[in-house]
């Protein structure tokens, strides 16, 4: 939560059932993209979950999280990309699963979109969680398909990094093909 909300992490409260709420001023929300995204998720009528571990729950079972498949982003929004539709467990409209033993570094484009250069930076579970939760929010709450939801999540992550330059020491949560902020 600290990665996502930054200095405003104290405005995030968790209930015993795992739900959370945000008690932040308009000024805090306007100045903090991470807090704004958390506020959207907390205020949504859709229930979105996050699991960091070795498995993520799905409807009628679970999916193992491994180094080969470290992230699962499940939503009730129909996904036309072939056999990509796996539904979240009952009681959830969306859920993100992240393998707790993910690689310590992530491949990424350390160049530009026109001049890609593959390099690595340290992975950060907070960066990955922020990207995946934002993407899941747009898929689940707004009914967007993967690509537009993914693009909006990249935009949110770029905004968060502009607000907090210290995050540039970590790889993008979006994965390997996002160019660094110029």
| pLDDT at res. 3 | 83
Would residue 3 count as lying in a domain? yes
> Is 11 within 8 Å of 40 (Cβ atoms)?
no
Would residue 126 count as lying in a domain? no
Would residue 26 count as lying in a domain? yes
Mind listing the pLDDT tens digit for each residue in 41-80? Answer: 999 999 999 999 999 999 999 999 988 888 999 999 988 8
Would residue 121 count as lying in a domain? no
> Is 182 within 8 Å of 158 (Cβ atoms)?
no
Would residue 92 count as lying in a domain? no
Domain count, the chain: 1
Would residue 95 count as lying in a domain? no
Mind listing the pLDDT tens digit for each residue in 155-179? Answer: 999 999 999 988 888 877 876 555 5
What count of other Cβ atoms lies within 10 Å of the Cβ of residue 66? 12
Instruction: Please say if the pLDDT value at position 91 is more than 70.
Output: yes
Would residue 16 count as lying in a domain? yes
| pLDDT at res. 32 | 95
Can you give the pTM of this predicted structure?
Answer: 0.87
| Structural domain boundaries, residue 2 | 1-43
């Amino acid at each position: 939560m600290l990665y996502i909300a930054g200095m405003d992490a104290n405005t995030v409260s968790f209930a015993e059932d795992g739900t959370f709420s945000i008690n932040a001023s308009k000024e805090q929300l306007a100045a903090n993209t991470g807090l704004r995204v958390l506020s959207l998720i907390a205020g949504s009528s859709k229930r979105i979950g996050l699991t960091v571990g070795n498995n993520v729950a799905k409807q009628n079972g679970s999916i193992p999280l491994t180094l080969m498949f470290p992230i699962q982003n499940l939503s009730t929004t129909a996904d036309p990309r072939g056999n990509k539709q796996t539904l979240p467990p009952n009681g959830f409209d969306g859920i993100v699963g992240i393998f707790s033993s993910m690689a310590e570094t992530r491949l990424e484009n350390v160049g530009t979109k026109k001049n890609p250069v593959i390099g690595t930076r340290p992975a950060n579970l907070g960066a990955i969680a922020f990207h995946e939760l934002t993407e899941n929010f747009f898929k689940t709450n707004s009914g967007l398909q993967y690509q537009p939801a993914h693009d909006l999540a990249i935009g949110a992550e770029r905004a968060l990094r502009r607000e907090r330059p210290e995050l540039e020491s970590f790889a993008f949560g979006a994965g390997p093909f996002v160019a660094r902020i110029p």
